[in-house]
Amino acid sequence: MTLTSLYLHTQFAATAFGYLEMILVFSLMGSFIPSATLFILPFAALAYFFAPPTFNLDDPRDLPVVVAFLVASIVGTHLIGKVRREREVALEAAARLRRSEAELRDREKQWREIFEHNPVMHFMVNPTGTVLNVNTFGATQLGYAPSELVGHSVLKVFLEEDRPFVRERVGLCIKTVGQSHTWEIQKIRKDGSVLWVRENAKAMQWAEDKLVVLIACEDITERKRTETALRRSEAHLAQAQELSRTGSFGWNVATGEVHWSKETFRIFQYDPSTEPTPQLVVDRTHPEDRAAVRETIERALQNEEDFEHEYRLLMPDGSVKHLHAVVRAFRNASGDIEFVGAVTDITAAKQAEQQLRRSEAYLAEAQHLSHTGSWSWDVHRLEFVYRSAEIDRLFGFDPEQAVSIETIRSRIHPDDLPRLQEVPRQAIEDKGGHFEYDFRILLPDGAIRRIHSVAHAVVGSDGHVSELIGTHMDVTEQHAARELLEKALAALRESEQRFRDYAETASDWLWETGPDHRVTLLSEHTNAVGIPATEVIGLLRWEIARDVEAEPEKWRQHRATLDARLPFRDFIYRTDTQMGSTIYVRTSGKPFFDADGNFLGYRGVSTDITATIRADQAERELRKAQAELAHVTRVTTLGELTTSIAHEINQPLAAIVTNGEACLGWLGRETPDLSAARCSVEWIIEDGIRASEVIRRIRALAKKGEVEMAPVDINDIVKEVIALLTRELVSHQVSLRTELAPALPLILGDRVQLQQVITNLVMNGIEAMQAVRDRPRELVIQSSEDDMGRVHLAVTDCGIGITEDDEDRVFNPFFTTKSSGLGMGLSICRSIVEAHGGSLSIARKQEPGATFQFVLPLHKEVVS
């Protein structure tokens, strides 16, 4: 420019303008600072070359021009710079806008991508709950296409029961615009399956007056499942803790932080809301255990070691609990010591243990008392696996010492050893089973114990017997008792047999009746008598008898006895045999009762006494015949005595006549001698009485009356006989001597029959002395009482006597040595005496003659 201007010699103004333009152009192109730097050069060139004076810079006139140029250029440059800057800014802003637009688009795209595929479900709903937008992920998660949800109520993806809640939540969001709300809820997929979501919702202003609710949902199904599982396992753990009575705890020693499980609270009986502290444990610990617990914990703290201990708690109600605690010590992430552990309520176990211990003690005591020891024997090692204290006592083993097989054998009775070895051997061979055996223990002091053993073999996993387990019971005492019992039983059996024999021999059969008096049992012998037991069993006793109607009173009395449950003896009744013959039964019975005194019936014996009854009847007949005979002989005797009797009667009659005549004489006097007459009459009366007495006696003897047993004095009878026979004695020149013992006891007898006996003996004596001429004929009648209180009467004569041969025969009927004799006298005498329970015999006598004597027993009633 300068060169061009210099060459063209342009004017200053043109040059300056050119320069200015150049500067402005440069200013347009560049920045202000290079253009400002650039205009220094035109300024200098202009001032030097073109401002007059040219080539001179000192001319002051140049200054205004140059300054003007400078100002113009500066202003121009500045303005251009400003315009250029503004343009640049505008360009830059436009470029930035373009850039940000692209960026926004990118971002929107990105966000849309994120929105669409974000693994969070996004819903945009209007206040009525209609879905305005939903991301693909959200729709897909629910099994829908987004288009299936948009425009529909959001409630369709919720469970029916949750819909009111959703409405309420949306309403809340609308009410509190801009505020976030979170909840967890279940959503229902198109296929009906359910998922758990955590929803975060917020209402926003969308258009000017439009509100929308944005909901972001996160699928928490897995978490929920885990949570449920966790909750379940927590519940299980709590349950397990409760069931096992085991609580857990943690204790950070440094921070003092304590955690207890629910069960721990329960064990220590604290309210679960209580803040757990170590002090609570100390408070509950039994005072006696506190020191030990503290010491254990302190030691564990010092040594930082795990520990385990048992202690007791004293509960507020005074009960005691036993606890077992297992505690682990460790350092946590912060380096603090922490204890975690488990505490178990072992009260029940402790009690069970105590119970067990007590049971063991009881068992030992029971074994001791019952003399029963238990044992277990290893069949391979041949040694005891276990033996109770009682086994040691039974065998006399030292409880502290192992027992060798030799020692055991030495304690077993040698006789029992083979069997004792055989029995277990057999059990081992049989591979199991139960076996019992008896043996004797021979103690070192020689004492013997009898053992009853019960055992069984235990089969091991190899199928072979590994062990024998059993008990030994000391039955020595039982054995002795059993022996005694057996002896007693044998004795009892023998005694039973003996009594049965007695009963059976004393009777014909045994019977038993029930409480209703029906026959329940009958010994077989009844068959022999013709009463089959089978026909009688079940009958009432009076149904068997045939004399109930004939003898009602007898049976009435008998049944009264039965009703009174009294024993009865010798009850006689009549019945018929199967063959129809009548038999007589004598029966005796006794009631029997059970232990409580209940009447069970009668037991008794019966005898067929038909023969006895028949014999009695025969005897009665015989007696009758004998009495008849006695009567006949008596009458015969009387016949023999006719002379004497006539004399006995004639004598008083003659006296009566004589006295009567005398009386008449006394009365016939002029002066009747009345006193003499009276005397005569008195004698007449006496003689009359005497005569009538004789007649009475004869009548008595001749009378055929019934036998009348009555207490009589034998001396009286003797005297009566003498009175009757006095004449007979006199006529036969026999002197009579009587030696009658005074105050003899009375005997029970028939006066007439006894008179007959004595008369007979006296008459025989008189007759036996008929031939005696060389000595006085003397007859002695003696009565006496012997040591046994019996009455003796002896008639002794000094007649011809009786030869030894005749001694037995004289009592035979029809034996007589007399020509007119009947030979019935002595025979009848003997049967009379015997009927009185006595005996008649001939007494041995050295002198000539004979002594007949009889003995009569005293009757019981008479004795008393």
Could you tell me which residues come within 8 angstroms of residue 572 by beta carbon, excluding any fewer than 6 positions away? 584, 585, 586, 587, 609, 613
Min dist. Cβ of residue 822 to ligand ADP (A): 5
Peptide bond into 857 cis (omega under 30): no
**Token digits for 524?**
């077989």
Q: Residue 217 or 627: which CB sits closer to ligand ADP?
A: 627
User: Is 601 among the residues that bind ligand ADP (CB under 6 A)?
Assistant: no
Min dist. Cβ of residue 819 to ligand ADP (A): 9
Q: Residue 799 or 838: which CB sits closer to ligand ADP?
A: 799
Task: Give the helix/strand (H/E) hosting 358.
Answer: helix 347-370
| Closest by CA position to 293, among listed 275, 276, 314 | 314
User: Is 793 among the residues that bind ligand ADP (CB under 6 A)?
Assistant: no
Q: How far apart are CA 547 and CA 164, in angstroms?
A: 111
Q: Residue 665 or 813: which CB sits closer to ligand ADP?
A: 813
785 three-state secondary structure: strand
Min dist. Cβ of residue 807 to ligand ADP (A): 10
Q: Residue 147 or 636: which CB sits closer to ligand ADP?
A: 636
Q: Which of 799, 830, 831, 859 binds ligand ADP (CB under 6 A)?
A: 799
* DSSP codes joined into one string, 579-593: TS-EEEEEEEEEEEE
Min dist. Cβ of residue 770 to ligand ADP (A): 10
* DSSP codes joined into one string, 241-266: HHHTTEEEEEEETTT--EEE-HHHHH
Q: Which stretch binds ligand ADP (CB under 6 A): 114-122, 194-202, 221-229, 809-817?
A: 809-817
User: Is 850 among the residues that bind ligand ADP (CB under 6 A)?
Assistant: yes
| Closest by CA position to 779, among listed 720, 808, 745, 738 | 738
Q: Which of 138, 591, 825, 838 binds ligand ADP (CB under 6 A)?
A: 825
Q: Categorise residue 668: left if φ over 0, alpha if ψ from -120 to 50, beta otherwise.
A: alpha
User: Is 797 among the residues that bind ligand ADP (CB under 6 A)?
Assistant: yes
Q: Which of 220, 315, 389, 822 binds ligand ADP (CB under 6 A)?
A: 822
Q: Which of 2, 54, 816, 839 binds ligand ADP (CB under 6 A)?
A: 816
Distances (CA, A) of 40 to 45, 63, 72, 463, 658: 9, 14, 13, 127, 249
User: Is 826 among the residues that bind ligand ADP (CB under 6 A)?
Assistant: yes
Q: Which of 800, 837, 841, 862 binds ligand ADP (CB under 6 A)?
A: 800
Min dist. Cβ of residue 828 to ligand ADP (A): 8
Amino acid at 34: P
Q: Residue 745 or 823: which CB sits closer to ligand ADP?
A: 823
Q: Residue 436 or 808: which CB sits closer to ligand ADP?
A: 808
User: Is 821 among the residues that bind ligand ADP (CB under 6 A)?
Assistant: yes
Q: Which of 817, 839, 841, 853 binds ligand ADP (CB under 6 A)?
A: 817
Q: Which of 109, 222, 818, 834 binds ligand ADP (CB under 6 A)?
A: 818
Q: Which of 656, 698, 810, 858 binds ligand ADP (CB under 6 A)?
A: 810
**Burial of 337 per CB tally in 10 Å (0-12, 13-18, 19+):** middle
Q: Residue 28 or 800: which CB sits closer to ligand ADP?
A: 800
Q: Which stretch binds ligand ADP (CB under 6 A): 270-278, 416-424, 573-581, 797-805?
A: 797-805
User: Is 815 among the residues that bind ligand ADP (CB under 6 A)?
Assistant: yes
CB 242 within 8 A of CB 258: no
Note the helical H segments in 60-218. 62-117, 136-141, 146-149, 163-175
* DSSP codes joined into one string, 484-541: HHHHHHHHHHHHHHHHHHHHHHHSSEEEEE-TTSBEEEE-THHHHHT--HHHHTTSBH
Could you tell me which residues come within 8 angstroms of residue 774 by beta carbon, excluding any fewer than 6 positions away? none
Q: Residue 142 or 850: which CB sits closer to ligand ADP?
A: 850
Q: How far apart are CA 862 and CA 864, in angstroms?
A: 5
Which residues in 639-698 contact ligand ADP (CB under 6 A)?
none
Q: Which stretch binds ligand ADP (CB under 6 A): 185-193, 341-349, 581-589, 799-807?
A: 799-807
Q: Which residues pair with 314 in a beta bridge?
A: 320
**Burial of 480 per CB tally in 10 Å (0-12, 13-18, 19+):** exposed
User: Is 823 among the residues that bind ligand ADP (CB under 6 A)?
Assistant: yes
Q: Which of 16, 343, 768, 791 binds ligand ADP (CB under 6 A)?
A: 768
Size of the site for ligand ADP (CB under 6 A): 19
**Token digits for 765?**
């004596």
Min dist. Cβ of residue 752 to ligand ADP (A): 18
Min dist. Cβ of residue 774 to ligand ADP (A): 16
**Token digits for 455?**
């055992």
Q: Which stretch binds ligand ADP (CB under 6 A): 461-469, 470-478, 691-699, 823-831?
A: 823-831
Q: Which residue has the tokens 């059970």?
A: 594
Min dist. Cβ of residue 803 to ligand ADP (A): 9
Min dist. Cβ of residue 611 to ligand ADP (A): 32
Min dist. Cβ of residue 832 to ligand ADP (A): 13
Q: Which stretch binds ligand ADP (CB under 6 A): 43-51, 175-183, 313-321, 812-820?
A: 812-820
User: Is 346 among the residues that bind ligand ADP (CB under 6 A)?
Assistant: no
137 three-state secondary structure: helix
Min dist. Cβ of residue 750 to ligand ADP (A): 20
| Closest by CA position to 592, among listed 513, 539, 524 | 513
Q: Residue 217 or 826: which CB sits closer to ligand ADP?
A: 826
Residues that bind ligand ADP (CB under 6 A): 764-765, 768, 797, 799-802, 810, 815-818, 821-823, 825-826, 850
